[in-house]
Amino acid sequence: MTRDAALPIAVRQLTKSYGTVQVLDAVDLDVHRGEFLTLLGPSGSGKTTLLMMLAGFVRPDCGSITFGEREVIRLEPHKRDVGMVFQNYALFPHMDVAANIAFPLKLRGVDRVETAKRVEQALELVKLGGYGARRIDQLSGGQRQRIALARAIVFEPRILLMDEPLSALDKQLREHMQIELRQLHERLGMTTVYVTHDQREALTMSDRIAVIDQGRIRQIDTPKTIYERPNNRFVAEFIGESTFVKVDVTSSGCTFNGIPLSLAAQPPQTGPHHLMIRPERLAILQRDPADDVNVLPAIVTAAIYQGDSVLVHASLSDGTMVSVRASASSQAPLVGDHLNLGLNAADTYLLPPEEGVQ
C-alpha cells in the first residue's frame, strides 16, 4: 500500500511560536483516507492554528505536512486541493448564492456549462436546490453554513477542512446540522478535519478525536475510547463531567478509603491512582447489589428536581462530592439521607498515576 492510499495527511514535528508563546509543540498527526477527524480543545490550545497550517494560511516554524507523498509546507493554499469552511463562512455579500459557490471553479478555469452543472449539484447535495439566485443577506444562518459547505466541496477536493462552522448557530439548529454534516461526509467519503471546542459535537460527529492542549496532542482515539478510557487527567476533565477520588492499588487489590473495589482489569502499576467517576455510571442502590458492583457509601447534600430526573449531590466517605441522577417518578432522597451508590466494576476506571503527553 502506498503512503498516498493510507495517509492522505501526515504531520510531523509541526512547531509554531508567536514571540515567546509556543502555539504548537512538535505535533505529530496522521489522518486516514476518508475519515472524519476532529481537533478538539479549549480556546488557545492550538487546534485552529494546526488547521490553518493544513490549509496553507499559516506557515510553521518547522516540521512537515504531506498530503499523500507530496510535501505541501511551501505550497500556496489554492494549490493544495483542499476545501475550507470558515467559522464566519466568508461568503461574498455582493455575489448571489450561485456565484459564491462557483468561485472556486472560476479560479480553476472550469467552463460556464460545467460550472452551472456543478453548482446545481452542490446545492442539491446541501438541500438548497433552487437557491442559486438568492442574495446572501436573504439566507438564514443555517442556510449560509450550507452554502459555505457547498462552495468548499464543489470542486471535489481530496480534503475538507472545517473551522468551528456551527458555532454561530443556535443549539437546536447546531445539533441538526451535526447530523446532516455527518451524513454528507458518509455520502462523499471525503477526508475531513474538523475543529471545535464543543465536546458533544466532537463525540457526535467523529471517527476519531485528537484532544489538544497547550499545543500538544494529549490523546487520539475513537469517541468511545476518549470518553470511557481517557489516558490522562486533562482529557478526563475536558470530555464530559467527572469526579476524581484517590484510591490505593497494591498487589492484593484496589481500595478507596479502606473500601475494597473490584476492577475490570488490574492496573499495571501499584501505588496511588485516581478513580474517574462519571455521574451517569453511578446508581442509587435500593437493594443488595450484584457481586460486580462496587458500593460507595454517601450522604445526600442536595436534591434538585429537573423535570425528567432529580440531580442528587452527595458526599463520599472521604468528603469528595459526586453527582447522580434519580428518576423523578421514584421517591427522591432527602438532604442528610445516607445511601449507597453503585458503580459497576466495568465502569471503575483508574487514570494512569503519571500523566504523559501522547
124: CB partners within 8 A, 6+ apart = none
Q: Which residues of 243-273 are buried (b: 16+ CB within 10 A; e: fewer)?
A: bebebebeeeebebeeeebebeeebeeeeeb
> pLDDT tens, position by position, for the chain (358 residues)?
233 445 689 999 999 999 999 999 999 999 999 999 999 999 999 999 999 999 999 999 999 999 988 999 999 988 898 999 988 888 889 999 999 999 999 888 899 999 999 999 999 988 888 899 999 989 988 888 889 999 999 998 989 999 998 887 888 888 888 888 898 898 888 999 999 999 999 999 999 999 999 999 999 999 999 999 998 999 999 998 889 999 999 888 899 999 999 988 778 788 899 999 998 899 999 888 888 899 999 999 999 988 888 889 999 999 999 999 888 777 778 899 999 999 999 999 998 775 433 3
Task: Describe the chain by its helix, strand, coil percentages, rounded to 5.
Answer: 30, 35, 35
Question: What are the DSSP calls for 309-354, one per residue?
Answer: EEEEEEEETTS-EEEEEEETTS----TT-EEEEEEEGGG-EEEPSS
Indicate the burial class of 358 (C-beta count within 10 angstroms; 0-12, 13-18, 19 or more).
middle
pLDDT at position 241 is: 87
pLDDT at position 310 is: 86
Q: Which three cell numbers stand for residue 355?
A: 500523566
- Taken in order 181, 186, 189, 194, the sign of the CA dihedral is positive
Domains along the sequence of the chain with CATH: 3-237 (3.40.50.300), 241-351 (2.40.50.140)
- Taken in order 209, 213, 219, 220, the sign of the CA dihedral is positive
Angle, to 10 degrees, between the axis of helix 112-125 and the axis of helix 141-153?
Answer: 130
The Cα–Cα gap between 69 and 2 comes to 9
Indicate the burial class of 180 (C-beta count within 10 angstroms; 0-12, 13-18, 19 or more).
middle
3-state secondary structure of 269: coil
Name beta bridge partners: 271. 249
CA dihedral 128, 133, 134, 136 (to 10 degrees): 100
Q: What angle do CA 229, 346, 335 make, to 5 degrees?
A: 95
- Taken in order 225, 228, 231, 232, the sign of the CA dihedral is positive
By the 8 A CB rule, do 192 and 183 touch?
no
The half-sphere exposure of 239 on its side-chain side, counting CA atoms within 13 A, is 32
The Cα–Cα gap between 217 and 227 comes to 16
pLDDT at position 116 is: 93
pLDDT at position 165 is: 86
Q: Which three cell numbers stand for residue 59?
A: 506557515
